[in-house]
Structure 1
Amino acid sequence: MRNSFLRSFVAIMLILVGAALVLSNIGIIDFNMNNAWIYIYPVLFIIFGLKWMLDKIRYQGGSWIFGSFFFIFGSLLLFDRFELIEFTFNDVYKLWPLLIVYIGFSFIGNSQKRSKWNIKWDKKWSKRNKVKGNYDSSFFSIGEHEFNQPNWKVEPMNLKSMAGDFYLDFSKAFIPEKEIPITINSLAGDVHILIPENIEFRVDASVKAGEIDIAGRKAEGINRHLMHETVDYETAIKKLDILLDLKAGSIRVVTV
């Protein structure tokens, strides 16, 4: 994978340098090998930003937050080089509002009205959330949460994050024969969960702005909410009880 990315990166750089030299020769831009670096490093930011975002889409690591920041930063620098706007490296501080964009989503709209069945579930969730999980995180944290090591043991979780992504692969996990509560709460990020077909589970998922996909059932937009319960959940001994609450982002639960 790294070798493939390196080859693609070198190829893109050669194409861009060659194109810039052609544009310079016909008088569209002022470009020579002496000032090439001022064009190259913005392109580097854009490429690495795109790679992080594509890796996130493919669930191969990556990060929406850092990927989008470097993509935007590099693009603005490149626009400056072509004299479309004025933006230098020292103007990076002007991008600070990006840090609060996701938080702003938390103020969008009011919660959807729920059915009586949902209210019954809410009472259960409120009681359950008072129980501290074996895996806990601070709500003020930013970053990735990954549970995908071979034979990792599933315990009650209470994961919180201001901004970050969550990846839980239960197909690689050791799941005890009991009902295991799992809570994920974040202002902004993506949640991707893989669950084996032989494991019963129940999911209550909400996003203020974003999309939800649970075993093929989808909802997207503002104030979205989906609940899903497998057929034999109530009678199963081994099962996962999952609560997901995002202000902005996407939720995807897939059976494998």
Structure 2
Amino acid sequence: MEGAHKKQWGCASFLLVFGLLLLMVNLGLLQLEGSAAGLILPVILLIIGIAQLIKFFTRRKGILSGLIFTVYGGLLSAAFFSKDISFGYGDIWRLWPLLLIGFAISLIAKRSSIQFSYGEPRMGGRKEVNQQDGPRERKTQIKHAMSIGNENFTSENWALENMKLNKSVGNYVFNLKKAYISEGETMLDVSVRVGNIKMTVPEELSVHIVSNVAVGENVLFNDRTDGTHARTLQFRSEDFETAPQKVKIILNVNVGSIRIDWI
């Protein structure tokens, strides 16, 4: 138990120091590029990453941290020696695809099978449920315990109803121009842990959009934000309150990107 506590304290201390260094670099309080001392931290990160990869091959643990530290330290080291490589400490968010790669490798390395759980129905609107105290309105929604892969909603006259979609790893593509949308307000709620969401919206459709990316790129029409300090973007049509046909869209991505364009 004592050894486990020492490892925990050692890991926490390293992350604390490393986080403080990154914060100082991003705020311009510390300049590591251009000096021989600036090569020390990248080499340390590279060594840690290689050690974690060796640990993965021997114990099947540490693939994600190994990939991130190895690639991050390797790119920083390469950028130190070559002006053709543009990569700094604040560019770590650009390595988010490594989460997908690490997750895939860890799944392949596991001996047990992957379990998937889906709710029914896949898409749903409102249903009336008769009970003793009278009819009750219920909204059906999709439920995924774990979902991996891509889904496209781009076919002609696909039915856009009240939907809640969740995906662990993968991509969503929506074309609302081709969707059949009933009158009234329709809710579309999409969440992705690691992946991308792409959506095209017809200019004549009245929408209220809330788009959030924790780490990555977030593009909502003419607004854009990216990096690890991404902010929530919103758009609301002027006639949203009075429009007979309108769609409220809530998009959330933990690591990846969201892109919404007019069509």
Please report the TM-score for the alignment, with normalisation by the length of structure 2.
Answer: 0.48
Please report the TM-score for the alignment, with normalisation by the length of structure 1.
Answer: 0.49
